[in-house]
Amino acid sequence: MNKIGLCLIIFTLFASRLALAEEVTLSLEEAVVLALRDNSDILLKAEEIEKAKAKIAEANAALFPTLNFTSTYSQTLGLYSNNLSQDSFQLTLKEYLYKGGKIINTIEQNKQKLVVASLLLEKARLETVLKVKKAFLTLLLSQEFTKLNKEILDNTEKHLDSLKERYKKGEASESDILRIESPFAAAKEAFEAALSDVDATRELLRNLLYLSEEVNIKPKGEFIYSGRQIALSEAFLKALKERPEIKQYAAQEEADKKAIEIAKADARPSIYVSGDYYNRSHLSATEARNRNDYAVAGITLSWPIFDGWLTKAKIEQAISDLRQTQLTKEKIIKDIALELRQAYLGLKDALAKIRTKFSELLFFKDNFSVVKQKYEEGLASSLDLEDTALKYNLSLFNQKQAIYDYLLASADFEKASGESR
């Protein structure tokens, strides 16, 4: 979606907040854009990326020399006939030439952690898109279901009114009226329940989009089916490449390997060069005060001989972390394989259901055409025509529901294979 389209969405939502309970019409694509923009999980993961970038900059700082300035001032009171003061300052320049490989491995470790943070953001995006798709499609279907229940309620009411008229004429008994009043009450209850489902689903979608309670979402879209053949093996191979979790634990595995090298660095020698410049006043009770200044330069080799097995313990911890990451990665691969199989089977069942409902739809459509022709010829009543139309609309809704199931299964499969649409 281009920037102009996004600006229009934002303007529409802003205007809706000014007018209480104003309807906001959104397509699925627009709903996904809003959710990705305002979702708190995504915003938190984005902040983690910025933090990871700062950690890389922090690690890179160890490649540069450090320069420190230290200054002191002191005054001696009551020891001599005159109060004496002394001041000094020191400049220290220090640069590590070798630190056991700790600097380089820390930089590489933080780069891998940045990759992990980026993949966690991508995972949050995939999960958010899936939630929004399901909520949006459910709201769309709930509205269709409400319309169908309203038709059923109206049709049942007409049958009840017709029967009451026949009862007045002595053509129907009171038992006949009682038998139809029960379905009428059930139809009314079903219609009210459908309205409640619409409100509940709209509230869920509104929360996912982080919209205020005053915004009344009106979903815009149709249930469109476009079948596609999917090879499970190809999807699995794609998931191994595209799923953020796989990439995440691969990057974490590399970061853990660097952590082992960082722990080992504590037992290795370190070398640094340093230079110090000193300047201070001279304190004396018998001589005049003057200033001394001098410089010291040197190279230092430091090699820890024994640290109470502290480094050994750190290495063992780092190795344990690496093993945990590898085991988790293996488990994730198995879980993804299971998720893909389940999504694939759900997709196949949904496709089969669509074909079945399409055949039923053709039958009821033909039946409706026949009754309509009879009605035009005076051979069928208007109530007969409404009954047939209701059956056709019910079949049409069943087809939409089958497509809805397919779209949900397709969304599950896309998420399982690492796609983000």
Question: Residue 64: what pLDDT?
Answer: 93
Residue 311, Cβ density class (10 Å: 0-12 exposed, 13-18 middle, ≥19 buried): middle
> Nearest 5 degrees, angle CA 361-CA 365-CA 368?
140
Strand partners of residue 71: 89
For the entire predicted model, the pTM comes to: 0.73
Strand partners of residue 7: none
Above pLDDT 90, what percent of the chain? 29
Structure tokens at 185: 């009450």
266 Cβ partners below 8 Å, 6+ apart? Answer: 100, 102, 304, 307, 310, 311, 314
pLDDT digits (tens, 9 = 90+) for 199-238: 899 899 988 888 888 888 888 888 876 655 556 666 666 7
pLDDT digits (tens, 9 = 90+) for 320-376: 999 999 999 889 888 888 888 888 888 888 888 888 888 888 888 888 888 888 878
Q: Are 318 and 263 in contact (CB under 8 A)?
A: yes
Structure tokens at 345: 């089977």
